[in-house]
Structure 1
């Protein structure tokens, strides 16, 4: 879009660019900059236009994008062009991800590069490597307290090791996903250390106050993230004799994005990692980017403007790189991280479907799908050229942040139901086979979350302890059932390290003084590769799980209806134990897959007459894509055994 004021400024900026930039052949950069500049200017002006140094900061912003483009390799530039031409490439059903810690899956980055065959064996072609940047020993928050945004933690390897890994992934058509922590730094970061030493410029990178007046104003409306271990949102720094905003942990200093220097510095870091061969950047804690007195300091409009600006700038320099929004918020807030008032995504192309994750666990605890159905029905439609990241477990705890209205519609009392879920998954509910642990119980609100590996939460650990084969078999069925849903729901499925092998809780964290006060380490496993070899031995739990996952992934990749083009239709089938939805090929709507999942331990039936309004003849014969067999069918009813699923196509 041409607009005189902004393009007049752009002409001045281009005249003022440093000679080493103007001498470069950057034709594609100029084309993209011209196309995006009005949006970039408008967003930057909205955020920072009131400042005297606005034009100076705009020049720095353009120079940062230009230098990032110049540093981009020819191979990555060709990838950018290819992805621009096939702009829906990431909506394909071909992509299946896995999240892992480098030193949980392997010894280090070099060892991880040597183990890429495992991903291909399973069918994984997108790998999210959990934080690997430099962080302090002990005060690391699992790698999310970064002390140097451009250095790899030397316990994991070097920058060259990462480049080799990225190259290895590219050879095998595996996407590399890396974390960028946008909201905060470690208190050992160079910026924080300069602030501590009294440099005002760097104190302005953070929220630093000489007394409690402003912090107390913030605290009136800000919730506590870790009320047990880190109550409050500010920490007294003895060396500075000042208060610092620390929303997460007292060693993580929140960055002040009302300062444009912070924005430009963080954009430079994003482009740096894009140029190392990273395909997708997971932007951590994006809901917290803008702080405003009188608000919760979460999901603020300006936080969205920051993300839009980052996306526009990245599209100029590295348009093939995607953003994941790490915002674990309510569905009505989550959908905004794709971009409000838009048709296509203009903030982040990918967002975590935390609501689906929590709803799936509710189905496991209750053995019915009432709340799951209600929550999925009310999940807002995503934008075009945006997609969900669907997962069952991740490195973090499980929170039960369902909408209270959905809970009531499912027939439960919100407070009592959440208490039941916490008790069930921590094994305190009579008859529960779960072996989870309560995380961050809030005495004031009664709220709590759950830690634990998938296998332990569904009863595999309990079954192995008691040598109860029926319990083991049901646990395996539950793991397969849950993955059948994230693989068919619509979006990119994300497996978690160890889940394809049935890895149970790891209690060794209790012996590590740096981890013992955070029970989330119970589900951050170190893979025993000797035991992992059991995936090749028939009759073992590892064999059953691994091969079930491998088979589902392969079928998914061959099923065009599982691509993500808003081509899912939820079906009410009048059986509280079943979840049912239709997936259809967006180009050939007649090619459909009927997904049915039974959350009960007992057999259930699906009345096909209820699907007549969806164009399905109740006497139609079906075949299950997963088993290759026709389902048990009598008259107009299909029977599902306990914890069974079907991916059905009409014969």
Structure 2
């Protein structure tokens, strides 16, 4: 009955397709549509089945997928088929990513092609080009307030420039990652302009209300994302004479996914960019997609259904394209964005491991790994065919969203510990870290931290002091943090300038459009003359870049670093050490014992206590990163402050 129903439903839809679509050669499309159709129809029916126009909307949905397939290039179709056959291709240890703003890393898209040599020199082969779609000047939220989803912002280039960089990336085996903002548009988007003009069709693209009665109920359960600059979640629009839901900024209007027109429009946009040569689409703000009164309007079940439907539709048209879930949510909610299947990701194949990122910074501040280890134990398991993005810094702020139960379990009081972290990274203790406080909520006391990796790790203050020992410590911390994301499991993602020790840039405060957003302090523009110091022996840039380059090169050669749920966290009696085992599931003799010392002082690793994990306490070990044998004495290995080892028995 399952197949009979599916075939009957599919045939009725295909009969209604426009003639110009029926005439196309759609052999692979129909094969994939048949395989995915029952799930697509079921999801679309769950979301929109109570509407009178359901059948017509279903036809539009299939036509949108078909049109996307018709415009798919032969090269993209070849990649689709290759990736379908090697469906775990992205779990390999060979992928290393970098996120960047085009005009922070290069002058524009055309100039970005001239920087491909830098990626190859470092070993990066996956590049996330931060949002480059058209945005209003001064009201862009760093590129996430889109006024045209199909047009490149003229300040960085045009679609022709984008297609050229896409071609260059493919020729050089570099994956291209691009943002699609799913939750909202700019209030200057065509849809919003038509809504302001009174068009009811486009007013239904957004959540708008005549008075405050419904918004006031929503507000009771919804937190504030930007309490300092944009308190509340609704904005009055005088032109329209209605309240609009604006969860982020007052110029970002939240889309209403209860309307199938919205979903189909967004699907068409996703497929449009898939057809421009994008390999991975980063789906922004996915936790916010479905709004429900009486809730926080985050992580709603129907938000997951929207993502499942989007994935199934993309699987039909462009199955080689991956999704990244930008969901910075509690650990228990995070893994749900992979989907509900036990093995295969049914929503997004990749998700940010924001919890690990925040836990690493806790280790830097406390100089111990108590909470880091407890938090890792509480991390939800990923699906077999899914992976994490592991990162130390990104374009955004750092929020310390650990589970309160984990904080309490290691002997800290949750609120006061978070306040300690904010104070530590804003330099209130010893001025080592040079972070800026971001979006402090005066009612709750909550806040986040901004700053570049190097400045947060103490390099900025160390360079000012001229103290070589402090400079060495800061560089050790930078490399320690990166050693974890390179070896932990997942795709390591560097941020623009991290491999050069780029410091905070305080010049943003002189720009009125950026002055009230301290995240711009770590969105620095690379000075390429200074970047050339990476080739000057002994310079800070050279020390960091050379070490990162070596780390990436070695990672790519170690099969145990591929991401097949092949990591075991090891208990350590020394609270300053983070220890875990990576192994090749197909050849368990291929093992790497990772040890990281988060303290500034030397520590010892007692090998005997790890014999129950298969670690030979009398083995001869070599550090794969440095190529040297660590000092051993009476079954112990010594680590200097901030040192790490990737140990392999030789």
TM-score by length of structure 2 reads: 0.99
Q: Indicate if the aligned counterparts of 2:534 and 2:541 stay in contact, CA closer than 8 A.
A: yes
Quick one: distance in 2 between partners of 1:252 and 1:15?
Answer: 40
| Kept in 1: contact 2:363–2:371 (CA 8 A) | yes
Q: Distance in 1 between matches of 2:171 and 2:634?
A: 51
Greater Cα shift, 4-13 or 520-529: 4-13
* Structure 1 outlier segments of 4+, above 3 Å: 1-6
In structure 2, what is the Cα distance between the partners aligned to 1:484 and 1:575? 19
Question: How far has the Cα of 1:444 moved from its partner?
Answer: 1.1
Aligned-partner Cα distance in 1 for 2:516–2:615: 54
> 2:108 & 2:408 partners in 1: Cα distance?
47
- Indicate yes or no: 2:113 matched with 1:113: yes
- 1:400-434 per-residue CA deviation (whole Å, 9 max, x = no partner) reads 000011111111111111010000000012x2400
User: What's the offset of the Cα at 1:344?
Assistant: 1.3
Matched, 1:638 2:608: no
| C-alpha deviation, 1:2, in angstroms | 4.3
Equivalent residues in 2 for 1:79-478 (5 A)? 79-429=79-429, 431-478=430-477
Counterpart CA distance in 2 for 1:573 and 1:253 is 49
Q: 1:254 to 1:43 in 2, by over 3 A?
A: same
CA distance in 1, matches of 2:501, 2:269: 37
Q: Deviations over 1:502-532 (max 9, x none)?
A: 0100011011111011010000010000000
Indicate the residue corresponding to 1:619 in structure 2: 618
Shift of 1:98: 0.2
| Secondary structure in structure 1 of the residue aligned to 2:588 | coil
Give the Cα separation in 2 of the matches to 1:220 and 1:519: 28
Counterpart-to-counterpart distance in 1, 2:549 and 2:308: 37
Q: How big is each residue's C-alpha offset from its partner over 1:255-274, in whole Å with a ceiling of 9 and x where there is no partner?
A: 00000000000000000000
Q: By how many angstroms is 1:380 displaced?
A: 1.1
1:593 aligned counterpart, secondary structure:
strand
Measured after TM superposition, the shift of residue 135 of structure 1 is 0.3
User: What do the CA deviations read for 1:241-300 (whole angstroms, capped 9, x no partner)?
Assistant: 110000000000000000000000000000000000000000000000000001100000
Q: What is the Cα deviation at residue 340 of structure 1?
A: 1.9
Residue 529 (structure 2) aligns with: 530
- Alpha-carbon separation, structure 1, partners of 2:532 and 2:51: 61
**What SS class does the counterpart of residue 638 from structure 1 fall into?**
strand
CA distance in 2, matches of 1:612, 1:533: 46
Confirm whether residue 507 of structure 1 aligns to residue 506 of structure 2.
yes
CA contact (8 A) 2:436 2:451 kept: yes
Residue segments in structure 2 that go unaligned for 5+ positions in a row: none
Equivalent residue, structure 2, for 1:485: 484
- The 3-state SS of whatever aligns with 1:115 is helix
Distance in structure 2 (CA, Å) of the matches to 1:553 and 1:190: 44
Maintained 8 Å contact 2:223/2:296: yes
Determine if the alignment matches structure 1 residue 584 to structure 2 residue 577.
no
Q: Gaps spanning 5+ residues in structure 1: where?
A: none
Q: CA deviation at 1:179?
A: 0.1
- For residues 449-474 of structure 1, what are the alpha-carbon distances to aligned partners after superposition, in whole Å with 9 as ceiling and x for unaligned? 00111111111100111212111111
Q: Does the 8 Å CA contact 2:323/2:350 hold for their aligned counterparts? A: yes
Distance 1:361 1:500 in 2: 18
Q: Which moved more, 1:458-467 or 1:93-102?
A: 458-467
Aligned length: 650
Q: Measure, in 2, the Cα distance between the counterparts of 1:342 and 1:554.
A: 33
**Distance in 2 of aligned mates of 1:172 and 1:406:** 44
RMSD of the alignment, in Å? 0.8
Q: What SS does the corresponding residue of 1:290 show, helix, strand or coil? A: coil
